[in-house]
Structure 1
């Protein structure tokens, strides 16, 4: 999941939010339908897909989906 489009697609398909790559830089609180439960689901999905542990603390500090993608792919 190195590609931002694939990452957003995962969220769209697995979490059910109608997001596009254009939404990636928007603040999480500005995403229609986004809430803290989605972040927990995302952590689980990312750990399953990458086989690595993902820091919930780091994700809680991330301002956007693009920032979360960066944390997961770059570290």
Structure 2
């Protein structure tokens, strides 16, 4: 996953979440259809896609999908 656009594609293809760039940067409560189960599924998908373990505590501290992306790609 090399870009935020690829991350948005992954959200759509793997989780069925159609999000805009603005929604990726907004809080989770602003993402249509978001719930906590999506976070667990997303973590699993990201570990598969990146080929590495991702810190669950760091993901739990994320305030937005953009923050989750940053944790996943090591920003």
Give TM-score scaled by structure 1 length: 0.92
Runs of 4+ in structure 1 over 2 Å off: none
Kept in 1: contact 2:23–2:30 (CA 8 A): no
Residue of structure 1 in register with 2:13 after alignment: 13
Residue of structure 1 in register with 2:58 after alignment: 58
Instruction: Tell me the C-alpha RMSD between the 2 structures.
Output: 1.1
Spell out, residue by residue over 1:16-50, the C-alpha distance to the aligned partner (whole angstroms, 9 max, x if none): 01112221111012211101100000010001111
Residue of structure 2 in register with 1:41 after alignment: 41
Aligned-partner Cα distance in 2 for 1:30–1:61: 17
Runs of 5+ unmatched residues, structure 1 = none
Count of paired positions: 75
Aligned-partner Cα distance in 2 for 1:12–1:63: 19
- Deviation at residue 2 of structure 1 after TM alignment: 2.1
